[in-house]
């Protein structure tokens, strides 16, 4: 069965052949329209293909271009479909990842709100902090009654613990203020050990008892790291805990409360932090 292309091509060939015979094309070389010698007409460069062969070539070229156009369009369609598929896949993956992250966050919130988990985290935090800061809590000023107690207070303590030992006498000005200040700081810094001893018990000279107290010795790891003699020269005879605290912080002898976890802070420090927070909120 002939196709539509064959029919069209046959009609065009018939049209061109009939036109050529009816018009009686003359031989360009002057031999007449019948061209008795049967010589083919000369080809004129650049001229249009008007004969049967030219029509066939034109039709073949047309079909070739049409086929190439369809192939190009199909390639573009496939490329577009591929891009759309990749885009849809990427969007689906992003949505699935967000859903997984949200689910994990919800599960973590549920775990963190659980009382058992909070207790477990507190214990784990204490274990981790034990390798960084002393975990032993003191909170009170230790009164050293003998020189042996003085030595044991230094040698039998954790190597990372800071030990303050106040040497005092009741009748010397400034000693009573120092004892009151140490009681306050002992509660604010429970990981620091505060002690006090009379100068007479420590075996110091009579001259030191009169002119050297109140004195403050600071030990860490069994070694004397700092000493202050007659602190009234720096603080005066009447001072308070914040004055002594600021003085010791200037020499970096007290731990920073901001860096200490709440779990190991003293109750006085936590109360002070809450008061500061309330004051800032009211402002």
Specify the CATH superfamily of domain 141-274: Glutaredoxin (3.40.30.10)
Q: Is the peptide bond before 214 cis (omega within 30 degrees of 0)?
A: yes
Chain-centroid distance of CA 41 in Å reads 86
Q: Measured in whole angstroms, how far is the alpha carbon of residue 239 from the centre of its chain?
A: 46
Contacts 24+ apart (CB under 8 A), 133-136: 133/160, 133/191, 133/255, 133/260, 133/264, 134/158, 134/160, 134/161, 134/191, 135/191, 135/264, 136/161, 136/191
pLDDT of amino acid 168 = 94
What is the reported pTM?
A: 0.48
Of 6-15, 121-130, 182-191, 193-202, the least confident: 6-15
- For the chain, the domains span 50-113, 141-274
Four-point Cα dihedral 7, 12, 18, 21, nearest 10: -130
Beta bridge pairs of residue 197: 167
Q: Tell me: the pLDDT tens digits for 185-200?
A: 999 999 899 999 999 8
pLDDT digits (tens, 9 = 90+) for 87-121: 666 677 777 888 888 888 887 777 767 676 777 77
Lowest pLDDT segment from 41-50, 51-60, 70-79, 96-105 = 41-50
pLDDT of residue 89: 62
């Amino acid at each position: 069965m002939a196709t539509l292309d064959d029919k069209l091509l046959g009609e065009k060939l018939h049209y061109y052949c009939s036109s050529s015979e009816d018009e009686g094309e003359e031989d360009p070389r002057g031999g007449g329209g019948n061209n008795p010698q049967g010589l083919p007409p000369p080809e004129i460069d650049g001229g249009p293909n008007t004969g049967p062969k030219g029509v066939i070539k034109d039709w073949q070229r047309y079909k070739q271009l049409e086929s190439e156009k369809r192939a190009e369009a199909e390639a573009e369609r496939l490329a577009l479909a591929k891009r759309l598929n990749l885009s849809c896949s990427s969007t689906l993956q992003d949505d699935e990842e967000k859903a997984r992250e949200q689910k994990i966050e919800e599960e973590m919130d549920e775990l963190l709100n659980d009382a058992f988990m909070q207790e477990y985290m507190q214990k784990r935090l204490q274990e981790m902090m034990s390798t960084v800061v002393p975990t032993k809590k003191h909170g009170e000023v230790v009164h050293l009654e003998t020189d042996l107690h003085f030595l044991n207070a230094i040698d039998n303590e954790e190597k990372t613990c800071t030990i303050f030992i106040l040497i005092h006498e009741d009748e010397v000005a400034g000693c009573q203020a120092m004892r009151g200040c140490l009681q306050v700081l002992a509660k604010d810094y429970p990981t620091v050990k505060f002690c006090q001893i009379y100068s007479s018990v420590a075996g110091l000279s009579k001259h030191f008892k009169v002119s050297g107290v109140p004195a403050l010795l600071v030990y860490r790891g069994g070694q004397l790291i700092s000493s202050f003699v007659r602190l009234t020269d720096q603080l005066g005879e009447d001072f308070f805990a914040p004055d002594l605290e600021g003085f010791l912080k200037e020499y970096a002898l007290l731990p920073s409360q901001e860096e200490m976890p709440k779990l190991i802070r003293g109750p006085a420090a936590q109360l002070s932090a809450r008061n500061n927070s309330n004051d800032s909120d009211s402002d």
